[in-house]
Every structure is written in structure tokens, then in C-alpha cells.
Amino acid sequence: MDDGDSVARSADKDAPPGDDGSSTPLPETIQIGNSPTYKLDRKLGKGGFGQVYVGRRISTPSLSDRTPGANALEVAIKFEHRTSKGCCSYGAPYEWQVYNTLSGIHGVPRVHYKGKQSEYYIMIMDMLGPSLWDVWNNNSHSMSVEMVACIAIEAISILEKMHSKGYVHGDVKPENFLLGPPGTLQEKKLFLVDLGLATKWKDTGTGELVEYDQRPDVFRGTVRYASVHAHLGRTGSRRDDLESLAYTLVFLLRGRLPWQGYQGENKGFLVCKKKMATSPESLCYFCPQPFRQFVEYVVNLKFDEEPNYAKCISLFDGIVGPNPDIRPINTDGAQKLIYQVGQKRGRLMMEDDDDQPKKKIRMGMPATQWVSVYNARRPMKQRYHYNVADGRLAQHISKGNEDGLFISSVASCSNLWALIMDAGTGFTSQVYELSPYFLHKEWIMEQWEKNFYITALAGANNGSSLVVMSRGTQYAQQSYKVSDSFPFKWINKKWKEGFYVTAMATSGSRWAVVVSRNAGFVDQVVELDFLYPSEGVHRRWDSGYRITATAATWDQTALILSIPRRKPADETQETLRTSAFPSQHVKEKWAKNLYLASICYGRTVS
């Protein structure tokens, strides 16, 4: 590998040295269950979990053994030490479970035997050949367009098959595609191995989809090839495998991806940001059209959208030679798939819907907007002020207070403040401080002593902050954190302690998050993205969550969505994104009894 960024496993998969059993010698001969005996030969590879060796059969299989592959003279033997991190709680490696369903399906090697011998979990499987990474590496870091197009076609059909069994692979990359053994009938056949990160996207029994979620602190996969959704910790679904495949194909073709070379603690974030900022056009600048079309299609797929595999395959048809028998990679699986789909639909190809305007989400163009959130409420007095300079804050606030209004939200844009005041807060008194710090701890602690709690918060790009604290809230305790990246880990810890996020702000690229006990919520989730996460918000809305806090930096938008303890009579919530402060829109919303509940300014689209 040219740099260290190809394999960055989730924390779970990073076994400390020696913990993978490397200190325990491997057995010289292997015999598990009723398997024949194999003698250990050369090493084939080593991964994060296991080591893979050639096994030579040195005994005849028992007559009653009808295991497919029992007669193979050479097999691949995968060893995982019993203390490996890949082993699940009941002992056997998680990958075994996945192979129980997928062994031997199109493009997946057959597992002949599984069992335990001495300190190791052992899986005996079909022996395969070099990986696509090996092929690319041994061919001066290059691969022909025809070869990559054939790989595209066959890989899509393999993923289609795997997905049809309810699994997503979760770690699609050149190293995990293997060819058949050289010199055999299968040397041009493609296989996808390493099912250790495979997850269910649907329950094949009930047909029900796994629930959508986002856990921004969870990353599984390989940084270089991971989908943007995987970087952001979203539940894996079919689109993620296809996005990783798209990056795999472009890597094989161009020899490099634009996000290679980042290092350090922040690497995952920087790589993800670069992926978001790279348009399909620029990613595929030197590649034939179909590659760009494929990238464009896969990055626009929704969480539960059924990919049109046949259409994806047909994109590459024009590149590969017409005679399947002389192609550099077998494309049998794909031909079968297109045939089936064609039959079902009464024709070979799906219609092309490219002329339908599709929103392009990755264009590499930053844009900054106001995000405003409106809730249905009984008629009440609400007022807004925007472009308020520091010196004029006091005047607006005291006028509002005189009229019986308290501040319900604050925001900042270009070092000027926006202020929402209304009669619906339920507060009994309120204090605020404009401070040059983000945040001013001493002042906040003093107010906590006096039973004021933070109820609104904004930060300006110059580092100053406006903190509003109120009495008469239901909060029982509060805590906050200021951090250089979105502090999901901390939030997650606080959730476990009974706190919920009740206010959030940014100052430049820094975040401040306030959590409170007794916040009146029964559950809370986060949506964090490099653009406004519309899809996630809609999924959450459908499950009863409503946006209760918003904040955005120049890079990312974060939305906190909560389920209220007491359901409001009218659950209507609307959001707007506008480049100017939405003064006219607010008035239109008021006319429909929708009132500003949250507002922020920052990066929302790319």
C-alpha cells in the first residue's frame, strides 16, 4: 500500500499486537468435524482478524461426507484466534454466521467446514487467487478500461445477489475482490470475500427493513473506500456497497482517489469532507462516461431505495467487448441478472430516466444559509430582530421584556445577532450575557447558582457568544461542552446519564452543546451532515421526532431531533432554508399559526 490510509477498521476490529493469537503457533495439520486432514502450506494473506493459509488435503474424505468441496486438494484455511476481536460473545467469529447464509452464492466462496482446533476458530473454504489490488499492483498500478468495466458488471451482480439475501457487505474494496486460482477454469471469475463487516439491511424472514439511525461516532469499513453515509455513522444499506464499489472502480482505473494522503487524528473527517466536496465529474474526469454516471447514480440513492442493478450494469455495456467468452473477467452472473430483470419487465434494459432532473448533492460548491424551524402553536406574540449589532442588543431585549416577551432563540450571522422573542416560553425571568468568550464559564456558573438555566445560545465567528439563561424552566441540572468537532461521544454519554441536548451553537468551526436533565423528552437523535440532511430528517419525522436544536459550522449542519414527553395537539413542523434572513417567510408562517422554534446560520448544501 502506498500510504497508511487504506485500512482503518472500526475500533472493534483493531486487535492489539499479539492479541490475534500471533504468539500461539498455528497447528501443522488441520482436521475439524468430519473433514479430511489438511497440511498447512504457504500463507495467503493476513487481515485485521485472521490469517489465511493454503491447506493441502493429505487424507481421503470419508465416504459419507457429501460436503461440497470435500474433494478439493487445495483449500484456503482461515484462522482466527479465540481471543480475536472478530469473535462474538458466544465464541465463534461473527463472519461464520454470515457465511451460513451466503456460502457458495454467486461470487462468494463456499465454506466447506468450520470448527475449533486448539486455540483457533478455523474455516476451510474454496481456495481463490489474487485480489484485484494484487492484479493492479503487479500491473504497474494500472488496469485497462475493459477490465475495470467487466469488474463493474460482475461486482454489481455479486452485490445484487448478496443484497437479495438480506446482507450488505460493508467493506467493498480492491483487496476484498479475489479472482479464482490461476490456471484453473475459475481464473477469470470474481469473488467477494471478508464478510466480517457484513450487516443485515432487511430481515429476510419478515421482509422488514432494519431501522435507520445515525451514530456519528461509529465508523466501520475502510476510510479510502467508505461511503459518505458510512463515515457519518449511518446504518448501512445497499447504497453504501455500491458507493464503495464506485470508488473501487475509479481507484483501479485512475490509480488514485482525490482523498488519499490525509493523515492524523482528523483523517476520517477530512476524507469524508473531501468526498462530499468532489463532484462525480471531477472524480471521473479521466474516466469514460459510464463511470461518472454510475458514481452520480449511487451517491444519490436513498437509505431504503432499491438500486437498479440491471441499469447500472447496462451502463458499462458499451465498454466491454460483445463476446462474453473473451472478456478479461467472467460476466456470467450479470448476464443472468439482466436476463431475469429483462424478462420480468418484458424487455432487456430498463428505461433511462436520466432526463429527469435529479438534485445533485455533491457539487463541491459551499453554500451558507439560514435554517429556520417552525412549530405549530396556539396564537401568541412573537417578534424577530436580525442584523443586530452588539450595541443594539440591550435595547431590543428590554423593549421585548417590557412587552412581556422573553428570548426563545438566538443566532449569529457575520458577527451580527438574530433574536427571537415571544410570549410562549413559560419563563418567569431571564438574564443574558454577551461575552468575548465561547462560552463564559464563570458567568454561567453564577447564574446556575441562582437557578437560571441556559435556554438559548449563539456564537459569532469572532469567538464571542450570546448566552441566554432563564428561570421557570423544567430543567433539573445542566452541563455543557465546547469542542473542536461535533461532540457526539460526549452527547451519547450524557444521554445515558439522563440528559438531553437543549441548546447548541457554533463559533467558527467550534461547537458548544448544552444538555439538561428533565428536558421533557423521551428520546433524542442527531442528524449530522455536510449538507442539510433532508432524508434523515424525514425519516425521523415519520418516527415521531421533531427538530429541537440546530447549529451549523462552515462545514457541517447538526440537527437534534427529539420525541417530546407530552405530545403536542398539533405536531406540524416545517423547516426553511434561505440565503437571507427569512423575515417575509416568518410572517407567512405566523398567518398559519406556525412560530419560529429554532434558527441557525451555516453550511447546509455543498
Ligand X SMILES: Nc1ncnc2c1ncn2[C@@H]1O[C@H](COP(=O)(O)OP(=O)(O)OP(=O)(O)O)[C@@H](O)[C@H]1O
* CA 108 to chain CA mean position, Å: 25
Count the Cβ atoms, other than its own, within 10 Å of residue 48: 21
465 neighbors 456 (Cβ within 8 angstroms): no
- Shortest reach from residue 1's CB to ligand X, in Å: 12
- Sheet order of strands, 406-413 included: 382-388, 416-422, 406-413
Residues 186-225 close enough to bind ligand X by CB under 6 A: 193-194, 196
- Shortest reach from residue 75's CB to ligand X, in Å: 8
Residues 57-96 close enough to bind ligand X by CB under 6 A: 76, 78
At 89 the three-state DSSP class reads coil
Is 20 an interacting residue with respect to ligand X (CB under 6 A)?
no
Q: Which stretch binds ligand X (CB under 6 A): 48-56, 317-325, 398-406, 428-436?
A: 48-56
| Whole-angstrom distance, CA of residue 512 vs CA of residue 505 | 5
Q: Which stretch binds ligand X (CB under 6 A): 41-49, 153-161, 359-367, 382-390?
A: 41-49
Residues 104-123 close enough to bind ligand X by CB under 6 A: 109
- Three cell numbers, residue 181: 486460482
Instruction: List the catalytic residue out of 5, 20, 126, 171.
Output: 171
Count the Cβ atoms, other than its own, within 10 Å of residue 550: 27
Q: Which stretch binds ligand X (CB under 6 A): 124-132, 372-380, 423-431, 488-496?
A: 124-132
Is 171 in the active site?
yes
Q: Which of 49, 291, 303, 499 binds ligand X (CB under 6 A)?
A: 49
- Three cell numbers, residue 561: 431531533
- Shortest reach from residue 25's CB to ligand X, in Å: 18
| Whole-angstrom distance, CA of residue 605 vs CA of residue 320 | 37
Cβ closer to ligand X: 98 or 127?
Answer: 127
- Three cell numbers, residue 60: 481421503
Q: Which stretch binds ligand X (CB under 6 A): 47-55, 97-105, 145-153, 280-288?
A: 47-55
- Three cell numbers, residue 204: 429476510
Q: Which of 154, 160, 175, 243 binds ligand X (CB under 6 A)?
A: 175
- Shortest reach from residue 452's CB to ligand X, in Å: 52
Cβ closer to ligand X: 180 or 216?
Answer: 180
- Shortest reach from residue 44's CB to ligand X, in Å: 4
- Shortest reach from residue 187's CB to ligand X, in Å: 13
Q: Which of 26, 30, 32, 52 binds ligand X (CB under 6 A)?
A: 52
| Whole-angstrom distance, CA of residue 423 vs CA of residue 412 | 22
Cβ closer to ligand X: 98 or 388?
Answer: 98
- Shortest reach from residue 175's CB to ligand X, in Å: 5
At 5 the three-state DSSP class reads coil
Contacts of 430 (CB under 8 A, 6+ apart): 401, 406, 407, 452, 455, 468, 469, 470, 471
Residues 226-245 close enough to bind ligand X by CB under 6 A: none
297 neighbors 324 (Cβ within 8 angstroms): no
Cβ closer to ligand X: 14 or 203?
Answer: 14
Amino acid at 381: K
- Shortest reach from residue 84's CB to ligand X, in Å: 9
Q: Which stretch binds ligand X (CB under 6 A): 44-52, 271-279, 356-364, 570-578?
A: 44-52
Is 131 an interacting residue with respect to ligand X (CB under 6 A)?
yes
User: H/E element holding 370?
Assistant: strand 367-376
Amino acid at 465: S
Cβ closer to ligand X: 99 or 545?
Answer: 99
Looking at beta carbons, which residue is closest to ligand X? 47
- Shortest reach from residue 463's CB to ligand X, in Å: 43
282 neighbors 258 (Cβ within 8 angstroms): yes
Cβ closer to ligand X: 8 or 468?
Answer: 8
For residue 225, with 0-12 CB atoms within 10 Å meaning exposed, 13-18 middle and 19 or more buried, which class applies?
buried
Cβ closer to ligand X: 168 or 512?
Answer: 168
Cα four-point dihedral sign 474, 476, 482, 487 = negative
For residue 116, with 0-12 CB atoms within 10 Å meaning exposed, 13-18 middle and 19 or more buried, which class applies?
middle
- Shortest reach from residue 186's CB to ligand X, in Å: 11
Nearest to 37 by CA among 60, 53, 54: 60
Residues 557-596 close enough to bind ligand X by CB under 6 A: none
Cβ closer to ligand X: 193 or 531?
Answer: 193
At 253 the three-state DSSP class reads helix
Nearest to 596 by CA among 574, 563, 569: 574
Q: Helix 332-345 and helix 145-164: axis angle, to 10°?
A: 60
Contacts of 325 (CB under 8 A, 6+ apart): none
330 neighbors 154 (Cβ within 8 angstroms): yes
Cβ closer to ligand X: 124 or 301?
Answer: 124
* CA 345 to chain CA mean position, Å: 33
- Give strand pairing partners of 45: 52
Residue in this structure with the C-alpha cell 432554508, named with its chain if needed: 577
| Whole-angstrom distance, CA of residue 498 vs CA of residue 523 | 10
Tell me how many degrees the CA angle 38-42-47 measures, rounded to the nearest 5.
Answer: 100
Amino acid at 107: G
- Shortest reach from residue 337's CB to ligand X, in Å: 24
216 neighbors 234 (Cβ within 8 angstroms): no
Q: Which of 27, 45, 328, 424 binds ligand X (CB under 6 A)?
A: 45
Cβ closer to ligand X: 176 or 293?
Answer: 176
- Shortest reach from residue 127's CB to ligand X, in Å: 5
Cβ closer to ligand X: 127 or 371?
Answer: 127
Question: Contact residues for ligand X (CB under 6 A)?
Answer: 44-45, 47-50, 52, 76, 78, 109, 125-128, 131, 175, 178, 193-194, 196
What positions carry a catalytic annotation? 171
